[in-house]
Amino acid sequence: MPVLQHLRGLHRQSMPLAGMRIAGCMHVTKETAILIRALRDAGAEVAWSGCNPLSTQDDVAAALAAEGTPIYAWHGLSTDEFYWCIDQTLTMDPNLTLDDGADLIFRAHGGGDGMTAGIIGGTEETTTGVHRLRAMADDRALKYPVIAVNDATTKWDFDNVYGTGQSALDGVLRATSVLLAGKQLVVAGYGHCGCGVAQRARGLGANVLVTEVYPIAALKATLEGFNVSTMDAASAVGDIFITTTGIRDDGAIVCNAGHYDCEINLDDLSELAVSSEEVRANNREHVLRDGRRLYVLAEGRLVNLAAAEGHPPEVMDMSFANQFLSLIRLAREGSSMTPGVYPVSDEQDREIAAIKLQTMGIEIDELTAEQQAYRTDYAQGT
């Protein structure tokens, strides 16, 4: 993760996060461990919980705990344990929060004004969490500023597209060992994550069919060469279904790459099934009354993290660099920012992209002085 390591070294001496207490709620993976170390090196005190009951890598959590970081996360949390872990991070009275899905932020708000009074700002990693926070802000319920890291170009055009595309299919392959070539693979939702899954699946030889509710997204999928239909039509022909919408009860029947486990209606499936058994790790077979078999992966949770290792570190490098710089910005400016959802600055986006290219050994051109002048010279015409 060379971008994050570069920033870590750059800020190790100045320690811009000195005096900051950061409560984090994010998948405990090897990539997250590098972020936590960078935050500590920048002067922060950190406590951490996992943002999904099945995504914690226990060996990573144990290693961080051995280094002295309070870690409240383990693989296979119950719902009660999941929220207990989040609550433990809040006992440190954080003045900054880092979230993936907004459960930590929502939990802090549930504690009343006394819980949020000392928090000067937070960050949010994923699309689902940003949607929740914008709804809170619209309802005037959000009590401190939050930077939408997810919406940075160097996050969602790379992490969401290439990270989700590769890691979701990695999870499917680990849980099933199925051959993707020649299969009818249905992707529910053609946002950044959905288009990444569709593109990677096509590259592996699958026949990809996309379902959508937004006309522009459906049109984009069509012009990029994918078949588009309704889920009812797709359910008659699909072999593999992957939901990437973040919306509940999508009707998909195999696996989910959205943040929460509500996209597959497991309660309805349980009522329809006459038997259910785990046939291999992260793969449960449900036999229906008519003899058909449906295989649900990773209990309907994030298949790329529950059944695999999540996004590769090369792409998480930029996402977590955005987290790192956004928390430094909040440490400096958060007290003067009003509650609301804020974007990552264009300057930060360009800085991270430039560092990433440099670490890859790639050089690009620069505009000449004449070209710079031409861009703002409205008098020149034909």
Annotated binding-site residue numbers for NAD(+):
126-128, 191-196, 212, 257-259, 304, 311
DSSP 5: H
Type of residue found at 258: G
Q: Find the helix or strand (DSSP H, E) in which 148 lies.
A: strand 145-148
Question: How far from 160 is each of 110, 215, 312, 366, CA to CA, in Å?
Answer: 29, 21, 12, 28
- What residue numbers does the annotated binding site for substrate cover? 29, 100, 125, 155, 159
CA angle 227, 230, 234 (to 5 degrees): 70
Residues 82, 60: contact at Cβ < 8 Å?
Answer: no
Instruction: Quote the CA–CA distance of 156 and 256 in Å, as a whole number.
Output: 18
Taking residue 348's Cβ as centre, other Cβ atoms within 10 Å add up to: 20
In sequence order, the β-bridge partners of residue 188 are: 211, 243
Q: What is the DSSP string of 269-332?
A: HHHHEEEEEEEETTEEEEEETTS-EEEEEGGGSBHHHHSS--S-HHHHHHHHHHHHHHHHHHHH
Tell me the β-bridge partners of 288: 273
CB 166 within 8 A of CB 312: yes
Within 8 A by CB and 6+ apart from 174, the residues are 281, 282, 307, 308
Do residues 21 and 44 make contact, with C-beta atoms less than 8 angstroms apart? Answer: yes
Indicate the annotated binding residues.
29, 100, 125-128, 155, 159, 191-196, 212, 257-259, 304, 311
Question: What is the C-alpha separation between 328 and 224, in angstroms, rounded?
Answer: 39
CA Rg value for the chain: 22
346, containing H or E segment: helix 346-359
Token pair 């207990």 in the structure block, residue = 84
